[in-house]
């Protein structure tokens, strides 16, 4: 088995893989052929949406094995979500946690889209 297919298998085993397959519910706010976006169960801001690829990729630690156009697509989906959520005027933030020190808990790439309040910098 190739590294890429092993990663796909590993990330499809996560809770986000189950959401992609429709096996567990999620509050989906946007979807297209390559990604979906749904509200975080434990929101850290008035708007807290996760954008994930349908394809299994465990995180940005595997970015060099991913289709670059997919990574760009996820960024554009984040903008669509921010616009839908009415965040364009006041601003919003995209966060990608990578690995243990950053607090990544789900091994399926996800972009956090956060907004609706003043966001402090630097993040904790």
Nearer residue to ligand AMP within complex by CB, 2 or 114: 114
* CB of residue 50 to ligand AMP, shortest distance in Å: 6
Q: CA 5, CA 80: separation in Å to the nearest integer?
A: 29
Please indicate whether residue 108 is annotated as part of the active site: no
Applying CB under 6 A, does 104 fall inside the site for ligand AMP?
yes
Q: Which is nearer to ligand AMP, 2 or 121 (CB)?
A: 121
**What's CA 31's distance to the chain center, in Å?**
12
Tell me how far, at minimum, the Cβ of 48 lies from ligand AMP, in Å: 7
Selected from 12, 61, 84, 97, the binder of ligand AMP by CB under 6 A is 97
Residues 6+ apart with CB under 8 A from 21: 12
Residue 105 makes contact with ligand AMP by CB under 6 A: yes
**Binding residue for ligand AMP (CB under 6 A) from 31, 41, 46, 76?**
41
Cα angle 9, 11, 13 (rounded to 5 degrees) comes to 75
- From residue 60, alpha-carbon distances to 49, 64, 70, 93 in Å are 18, 8, 12, 17
Interacting residue ranges for ligand AMP, rule: CB under 6 A: 15, 26, 38, 40-42, 50, 97, 103-106
Catalytic residues: 110
């Amino acid at each position: 088995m190739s590294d890429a297919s092993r990663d796909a298998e590993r990330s499809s085993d996560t809770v986000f893989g189950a959401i992609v397959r429709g096996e567990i519910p999620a509050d989906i706010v946007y979807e297209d052929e390559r990604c979906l976006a749904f509200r975080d169960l434990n929101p850290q801001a008035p708007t807290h949406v996760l954008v994930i690829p349908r394809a299994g990729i465990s995180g940005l630690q595997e970015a060099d094995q991913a289709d670059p156009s997919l990574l760009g697509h996820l960024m554009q989906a984040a903008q669509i979500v921010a616009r839908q959520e009415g965040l364009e005027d006041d601003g919003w933030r995209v966060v990608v946690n990578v690995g243990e020190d950053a607090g990544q808990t789900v091994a399926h790439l996800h972009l956090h889209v956060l907004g609706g309040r003043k966001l402090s910098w630097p993040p904790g």
